[in-house]
Every structure is written in C-alpha cells, then in structure tokens.
Structure 1
C-alpha cells in the first residue's frame, strides 16, 4: 500500500522584502498546518523574501534600489532563515517545500530562484535552483543547474518539485517522471504581467497553470499541488507610488490560484484565491490504475528510440585543488662501470 496523507497548499503574501519577518510568517503557517493534521506543506515561488514583479513594470535603470533590497533580503541555504525553517519542520513533524531567493556565497550580487524541500526531521532533502529565469526574471536571477532535479523519497511518498515556468519544460518534467515521482509540487508568483491591460492579450496565469498542472499529473499519473503567491496591499502601493501606471497593470492582470490535482488531471475540490491554507486528502494508491493506460516511464515508451541525459552536477565558479606540493623525484643512482676482462 502506498502512503495516504493530508497535504497543505499555501496561498499567501510574504512580508514584502523582509526575510526575517517572512520566515516567521512561514513558521506560523507550518505550525497551523501541522495542527490541522497535514503531513506536508508547500509555499509559493520565492516566498522569502518576495517575487520581484517590479522587473515587469519598470525599466531596469530605475530599479537599482529594489535590486539592492532584494539582494540584501535574499537568503543563504546555510543561513539563519533556513535553519529556522528546519527547526519548525522538525518540531511540527511535517515536510516543508518553500521557495526562496537564494544568495550566492561567492558573490554579493548573484541570486537564484530556488526551492527547498525539508524533511519532517528537519533535514534538507533537496535544493533546487530554477534552471532558467523566465522573461524579465533574467534581470534579477541567474540560471540554475540540474543538481536539484531530483525526486526525493519521503514518509509521504516520492516528491518532485519544479518552479513556475519549469513546468512548461517537458524534459525537466520527464526527468522527474523517470525517477518514480508520485507527488508533484509546482510553485508560482502572485502576478505575472506581460502586457498593459488596455491592449488585451495579457498572460492568463490562472489558465496557464491549470493546463500545466493537469498535463503533468495526467502524463505522469501523479498527484499535484499548486501553490501561488499573493500580492498584498503593501507591495501594490509601493509599486503604484513609483508610477501610477503600475497600479493599472497590476489591477488588470489575472491572479493565480492554489489547488490540488489528481492523477487523471482533474482538480480536487475548490481552488483558493484569497490568502490562506488549502488542504486535501491524498491517497497515492490512486496513481496505480491510470498506469495501466499510459506509463511513459514504463511500458508505454520506446527507450530504444528516445534517450534523455541529465547533468545533475552542482555548478561552482571555480575548482580549487589544495594540498602539499608534489615531492621531488628521487635522484637516479648512477650505473656502476662495467668491469673489463
């Protein structure tokens, strides 16, 4: 029998660009979910310290101050904020998935869009950096690497995670399927403007997320958890104060929702669009029957025709080889002269 458990999807706003306060908000929600009987809780994309929506609204030459604040409030994986989350997960006995803006230990200006999976014992189970920032996100974050493209065995099943637009990458999704994924977590921003509303054709993130979540769950025969951020009044007013036109864009751009999807691609229960925590009962045994129809990592493929290679090495700026210098070679012994007869 596969695991049965209660999962929690967070739809919430961070304390805008305040890593310490947002961490405490996350800890409070972890405790709340555990009290409600959840064994797993997932937070939105870069919940700590915020999603940099300003990159869509203002020219980069006008946002140096915001990048400085983002860099200052982004967190190290071995820093105090993540340590606080680990302690909270261990105390509550709950698996935690959370998006962070990650600082580089080698650079004060390099940031990654990352997601962490923390076990119920407080251990770091996976550290994934978004493979490619999307559109204007490239003005804030660097490309990640494949080191976090892993499915992790937990007490509640085999968990995989992808961040936002990575869920549009079929090879990234397949790499998780091929590792026996059973529960897929996708994390999303609070708003994603692509056009001024007056012209029409703005990106409908709610509809796009629904397509992607259903497609992955149907193809992989897994359960899905969709968690999205909220743009609160503080963040809205800060950006509107810079340029009143930003308020029109934000007000006219569709908002995402949080919800669960079953292995047939159908939504489980209602979606959550206001701030809060949404719960669902998950029975991974429901993943088995749909595999009879299509099992793309089992019998329903042609591995002699298709091949996928995935580089999961963690990238670093340099490889240092320290140690003592090599010993000098021993002097050669001169050969004795041959005797003459």
Structure 2
C-alpha cells in the first residue's frame, strides 16, 4: 500500500438549520472532492444542520425558538441523512468524517455534538460524542462519553478525530495518540465570538487552532486535518434579520480557517478562510515514523511506571431495560440501512 494519501478539508456553510438540504450539499461536495482524488473527506463541526453561534449572541431566554429548530433538525443515527452519507461513501469509495448535531432516541430534547467516521464500504467506523460542550455550547448540547475515543483503521491510515475544544484536552488527545494515530481530524465552527468588538479584542481562533493542531501533530507525530465551518451570506442575513444589533459582532469576529499540518507541526497544502471551498493536501504517512525517534510519547519517551491513564469507553445510556421475552441472541440494530431493504447490524453493512 502506498504511503501517499490525498485528503480534503471541507470549508463550507450548511444550508442553515436544514438537515435535508445540508445533507444534499454535503453529498455534492463529497462527489467533487472524490473527483479531485481525495480519499478522506473531512467536514466541519456540526455541519449538519449548523453550528449554534446564536448561543454566543443573545441571552438564553431569547433563543428558545432557535433551540427548538436545532433539535428538530438534528440527525438521528438511524435516520435518512446518515444512510445517504453511507451510501455515498460506498459509491465513491472514500472515507468521510462528518460533524452532526445528533438527536437522542431517549429524549425529544437532548442533542449531542457528534462526529461520525464512515468507511469506503459504507460502514460506520466510529461514532464520537463531544465529551464536554465548550462555553456557551453547554446551553445547546449534552455531554458525551468516552465510547468514541477510538482510532480507526482505514485505507488511508489510522484516523482519529476530536471536536473543537476537545483538542485542548491533553488526556483526550493522548488517548488517540496511544492507538497509533496517523491522521488527526479536528473540526471547528465558522466563528467563535467571545467579546463584543469594543470589549478588548475577540478570541483569535485561527491562531489558537493552529497552535492546537500543530501541538497535537508534533506530539503524536501524525498529520493533521483542520476543517472549519464557513458563515455564508444566507446564514449571516438570517441572524442579523433577527437582531440588527449583532451585525458588528458577526462582521468583526475572525472567521475560522481550514488547513493541514505535518508531523513536525508545520503547515502544508491549501489554506482556506474567507471563501467557501475544499482544501486539499497530500500526506506521506511514512513521514510519521522518523520523528518517533526524537519523542515517542506513547513509546520509549514515556515513563509508564510513573504515569498511568485509564479511559472509560463505555457508551452511557439513561436506562437499561430487561424485557422478559427478549432473546439474548437478538442482534443490536444501531444504524440506518445503507441498502434499502436490508438492516445494518452493529454498524456494518450486510454481506
């Protein structure tokens, strides 16, 4: 197998709070990226149906209707959106990393900030829920669990992913490093307002994301894909129409960027910030090996007699039901069918 792989970071806006239209747009983008030769295509944080930037702009008491819309347009794991993405990944023969706002089968109002990794056979390779929603995201999403802290074998190498602020969590990052990660995907929102423009300067998320991506790649000796959302005119107009007073905050908050870093922490490939598009880079996975001679933090450059990390990867659920007539051999149906008339068992395609 060649050590050279072509990857894509999608720097695009959703169709704001419209999961069906955004899924259709995502499929169109995936086709374009695959046609350009991309083998791994990474989409931004909660690309479907949008990132809830309004939680930073107005008080919670003013946002109830937007939360209701967000819940309504969030994505079920066994819903048509994931099924369509799985079919497309299989048709194109590519690996897709997709950020979604995930709905809960146990609650009509609980949602998670999640990432789904889909393999080129249409199988769901990993399903990760963001461990801790960041800052004002706590008003939108529930806390996730450790079940998705996994690195997946793919035809383009061993791929791991963390969502936004999780890339600041050293233990979450180390968990992926300790599983032989070669490509790390970090997904981000289109902007991150933390102050009004007159309040002493906004958080510079472009610089911060570059620091975090480079730090992880340097420590893991892995390649990094930084994929950030984009605020288009339609999203901006809808928010400002709701309250023209926030135009200054939106227009003077730095836009996020999408780019790539190598195992030394240096950037490579395309860089996108102020326009919508697809960024591309070529990774030579063989270059993950030599830097391990300098610092292998999950190998010789550690003291396992001094440091000890235990990670709970149990999927948390609100209740366990024991029905009298349930067969222990009954298969667990977790994800939507890729082929219309066949169920998908345990996240794998039927044979």
CA RMSD of aligned residues (A): 1.1
User: Which structure 2 segments of 5+ residues have no match?
Assistant: 327-351
Partner of 2:112: 112
1:131 has 2:105 as partner:
no
Q: Give CA deviations for 1:235-259 in whole Å, capped at 9, x if unaligned.
A: 1111112222211101111111101
Instruction: Tell me the distance in 2 between the aligned counterparts of 1:324 and 1:67.
Output: 39
Instruction: Tell me the distance in 2 between the aligned counterparts of 1:253 and 1:124.
Output: 35
Q: How many residues align?
A: 325
Partner of 1:306: 307
Q: Give CA deviations for 1:33-80 in whole Å, capped at 9, x if unaligned.
A: 111111110000000000000000011111111011100100101100
1:277 has 2:278 as partner:
yes
Q: Give CA deviations for 1:169-226 in whole Å, capped at 9, x if unaligned.
A: 0000000000110100000000110000112231111010000000000000000000
Change (3 A) 1:324 1:105: closer
Instruction: Tell me the distance in 2 between the aligned counterparts of 1:245 and 1:288.
Output: 52
Partner of 1:259: 259
Q: CA deviation at 1:4?
A: 1.7
Q: Give CA deviations for 1:274-327 in whole Å, capped at 9, x if unaligned.
A: 1101111111000011001000000000000000010000000001122269xx
Partner of 2:287: 286
SS in 2 for 1:126: strand
SS in 2 for 1:198: coil
CA contact (8 A) 2:269 2:282 kept: no
CA contact (8 A) 2:270 2:281 kept: no
Instruction: Tell me the distance in 2 between the aligned counterparts of 1:19 and 1:240.
Output: 21
Instruction: Tell me the distance in 2 between the aligned counterparts of 1:269 and 1:85.
Output: 26
Partner of 1:232: 232
1:44 has 2:44 as partner:
yes
Partner of 1:95: 95
Paired residues for 1:170-249 under 5 Å: 170-249=170-249
Q: Give CA deviations for 1:98-144 in whole Å, capped at 9, x if unaligned.
A: 10000001111000000000000111000000000000000000000
Where has structure 1 moved over 4 Å in runs of 4 or more?
none
Instruction: Tell me the distance in 2 between the aligned counterparts of 1:185 and 1:259.
Output: 11
CA contact (8 A) 1:126 1:150 kept: yes
CA contact (8 A) 2:269 2:279 kept: no
CA contact (8 A) 2:258 2:272 kept: yes
Instruction: Tell me the distance in 1 between the aligned counterparts of 2:294 and 2:325.
Output: 60
CA contact (8 A) 2:13 2:230 kept: yes
Larger Rg: 1
CA contact (8 A) 2:12 2:276 kept: yes
Instruction: Tell me the distance in 1 between the aligned counterparts of 2:325 and 2:242.
Output: 57
